[in-house]
Structure 1
Amino acid sequence: MAAKIEALPSTQSKVAKATPDHINEKIERETEARINTFKRKDPEAIKQRISELEQEWDTERVLEATMASFALSSSLLALTVNKKWAYFTGAVSVFMLQHALQGWCPPLSMIRRQGVRTISEINLEKEALKDLLEDEHYPI
């Protein structure tokens, strides 16, 4: 009997699917509130916000930087202090592989709880702000 193989989640949706609904909803509400705030702002403020959004770190970047820092630190500790630190390096590698395949790993929950958004969530706000500029016939 052939085993049923589950498809891996798409790269664009894996984080949202692995995040509890209440966290996704909180991030969505905060994004909507920011968009509504900018409905009353002048075009320059909207353009400034779009510029800020282009610099915002998404979940993938935060997770990669955090995990790489942990792996580097624990590798150095394994070489200089105690070889048992290599287990931590191994755990970090397992978490990164788990995230790449399943879209979830333990540090991701903490990152999402801090309100770090996916690139799709950031782009959603950016596109809504661009629509505001177009609606007002302001050049972007």
Structure 2
Amino acid sequence: MQLPATARRVEDSTDIRLNDLIRARTDAELVRLESAGDELIADRLRELDEEWDVERLLQVNASVLVILGVLLGANVDRRFLLLPAAVFTFLGQHALQGWCPPIPLFRRMGVRTHREIARERYALKAMRGDFDALPARDADAAQRVRAALAAVDK
């Protein structure tokens, strides 16, 4: 069994209809901002910087459940210690396969992957013209790389 590529493992394990819905929402936002000024695009880029991806939400969710399970196991009933064991099992499954029980719920809620958020970010940067000033291909390679990285970091 071959493990899925890290960058696409969540999308590959998500129902195609959910992926299409998430992509359509992103595309609609890009269409809305296509003729917007730089200020609105900058506002949206700041929003994207604050958006939680599915990995972050899963990590916080797992942390809360593990702490809860340990506290309940120590103070109420040792059987609650099964909760952290299950959570860690699911995290391992997610790391290998890109799927675990909370993922379909998060995806139905519209939570995107880092890759999906980056897709919108770089489309906005391209629409704003951040990559238009790259030196020509025959320019010094180091200069081109610095200019490309500056556009990405902008």
TM over 0.5: yes
- Please give the per-residue CA displacement for 1:45-88, whole angstroms capped at 9, x wherever unaligned: 10110111112111111101101111111111100111110111
Identify the residue that residue 20 of structure 2 maps to in structure 1. 25
- Confirm or deny that 1:55 pairs with 2:50: yes
Identify the residue that residue 38 of structure 2 maps to in structure 1. 43
* 1-structure distance, mates of 2:83, 2:61: 13
Once the two structures are superposed, the pairs formed by residues 94-105 of structure 1 within 5 Å of their partners are 94-105=89-100
With a CA cutoff of 8 Å and minimum separation of 6, indicate the structure with the bigger relative contact order: 1
Aligned equivalent of 2:77, options 74, 82, 97: 82
- Confirm or deny that 1:9 pairs with 2:40: no
- Please give the per-residue CA displacement for 1:89-124, whole angstroms capped at 9, x wherever unaligned: 111111101001111001111111100000010000
SS in 2 for 1:116: coil
Identify the residue that residue 136 of structure 2 maps to in structure 1. none
Taking only aligned residues, the RMSD between alpha carbons, in angstroms, comes to 1.7
Aligned equivalent of 2:129, options 124, 131, 134: 134
Identify the residue that residue 114 of structure 2 maps to in structure 1. 119
TM-score when normalising by structure 2: 0.83
Q: Which moved more, 1:28-37 or 1:52-61?
A: 52-61
- Structure 1 segments of 4+ aligned residues over 6 angstroms from their partners: none
SS in 2 for 1:16: helix
* 1-structure distance, mates of 2:119, 2:8: 13
TM-score when normalising by structure 1: 0.91
* 2-structure distance, mates of 1:14, 1:24: 12
Tell me by how many angstroms 1:40 deviates. 2.6
Name the % identity. Answer: 37
Q: Which runs of 5+ in 1 are unaligned?
A: 1-5
* 1-structure distance, mates of 2:86, 2:19: 27
* 2-structure distance, mates of 1:41, 1:134: 13
Identify the residue that residue 3 of structure 1 maps to in structure 2. none
Which of 1 and 2 has greater Rg?
2
Which AA in structure 1 matches 2:126?
D
* 1-structure distance, mates of 2:96, 2:34: 39
Aligned equivalent of 2:62, options 67, 72, 94: 67
